[in-house]
Amino acid sequence: MDPHSHEKPRCGHAACRRILLFERAVELGPRIERLFAGDEVQVVRETSGAHVLRRAAREAFDLLLLTDAALAATNGERRAFDDLLAGRSAGMRALVLATAPAAEPSPAAPAGACNRAALPASDRDLQLLIEDALEDRLPGGEGCGRMGELIGASAAMQAVYRQIRQVARTEIPVLILGETGTGKELATAVIHALSSRRDGACIAVNLGALPTELVASELFGHEKGAFTGAAERRLGKFELGSGGTILLDEIDSIDAKVQVSLLRLLEQKEFHRLGGRDAIRSDARLITATNRDLARLAAEGLFREDLFYRLETFCITMPPLRERSGDVRLLSEAFLERAGAELGRGVTEIAGDALAILESYAWPGNVRELRNVIQRAVLLCSGRRILPRHLPERLRPAERRPPSGIPFPIGMPLHEVERDMIRRVLASTMNNRTRAAELLGITRRSLYSKLNKHGIGACEHAAQGA
């Protein structure tokens, strides 16, 4: 066993709450274990900063509990610890305990620390403090504006974080609703990381991007010879992801036959490969997502009602960015740091007037659009600060008014009008095909068909959106 690690056996089931304790010589571990004896709380104690970081990266914990003395001794690992204290490990809260009285917060506790409190003298007060930290009842809790890769301190995002924690440790299906680019796949990843399935696969399938005739094969697999071109057996996502989590995005796009197979899978935990006779068991947890009103589609007979009721057992709605007050700044700063590292640029800040433009824009493409805009700005910026001129023209107030008049000459053939309009919309959405399909009032599959029909290639419309 690692000499720096002191770990009791794992709890027996998924309801166990795990605490990662980092201390030097205070010996809180035995005290906490005694306080929570019989309460399904596991305490993993580490006395090395490097081992704490390694544990946090590969395992799921509910709370990082550390003393200010231990934090002060991290030295070269401080940046990584600041990330942990800012809530950047999926679902893990943090609490810094001051082991000596101080009039002001110790320099060891950075501004990013989620919570800081004096180490209580009584066992009862310590137990209550840890319980509050585990249940996000401390001021500044709920991940301090970040949960895994989900970023946001707004009330709307705090509600999402609460829902994720409520459902993550269960096995019930989850339906995630929200506009394109709001983070539905990121929410799925956090649910998976907080669940008892975190060691299994987390597989995302975008159903809208698949031809209708290939969806069943992609999900359930097929036997050799099941159809023309099936030269060998192929395992589907539900077979490959058994024991893990499967996200089916754009669930509204599947046809009636696949809906029946999916309903059977939910009810009986089994399916058949295409062309196969044997029932195959699958223990994959199902999460579905859509940017459409699935309840309305079910009421209109365009989606099976019985399947809809099974999928919406627990529903999470991802808020659009325009309804997340204050989050544009947090997201912009995070994307700026990431883009600077990925592109090797020394851009470190966003000018106030540029930030004002970002915060006043409606963001129809939501978080994904903002990320792309920041990445583009970092690429264009030759200095340290992003300025208004580095932002796309469509973001600037004078450019937001729709152009007057007909944007094409009278007499242009209809197929050329359609081709030109598709090109314009793709350029305006920075090649976000899902958003382009929404603006054009057609399905994503129809858009792909029209792209092929007009010979509009990825390189062509990507260049126009630059």
Residue extents of the structural domains in the chain: 5-145, 154-317, 322-399, 414-464
Q: Label residues 368-396 b or e (16+ Cβ within 10 Å = b).
A: bbbbbbbbbbbeebeeeebeeebbbeebe
CATH architecture of 322-399: Orthogonal Bundle (1.10)
Instruction: Give the pLDDT mean for 430-434.
Output: 80
* Mean pLDDT across the chain: 82
The residue with greater pLDDT, 402 or 45, is 45
Which of 133-137, 212-216, 443-447, 449-453 has the weakest average pLDDT? 133-137
pLDDT digits (tens, 9 = 90+) for 300-348: 999 999 999 999 999 999 999 999 988 999 999 999 999 999 999 999 9
Rounded Cα gap, residues 80 and 24, in angstroms? 18
Report the pLDDT value the prediction gives residue 287, as an integer from 0 to 100. 97
Q: Write the CATH number of the domain with boundaries 5-145.
A: 3.40.50.2300
pLDDT for res 286:
96
Q: Two tokens at 158?
A: 């705090």
Point out the least confidently predicted range of 68-77, 284-293, 364-373: 68-77
Q: Is the pLDDT of residue 202 over 90?
A: yes
CATH 3.40.50 fits 414-464, yes or no: no
pLDDT tens profile 379-410: 999 999 999 999 998 887 654 444 545 666 66
Q: pTM of the predicted model, to two decimals? A: 0.63
Rg of the Cα atoms in the chain: 25
pLDDT in tens, 6-38: 555 445 445 578 899 998 876 888 899 898 887
Taking CB atoms within 8 Å and a gap of at least 24, the contacts of 120-128 are 123/31, 123/34, 123/35, 126/31, 126/32, 126/35, 127/35, 127/36
CATH topology (fold) of 154-317 = Rossmann fold (3.40.50)
Which pLDDT score is estimated for 6? 56
Domains 5-145 and 154-317 share a fold: yes
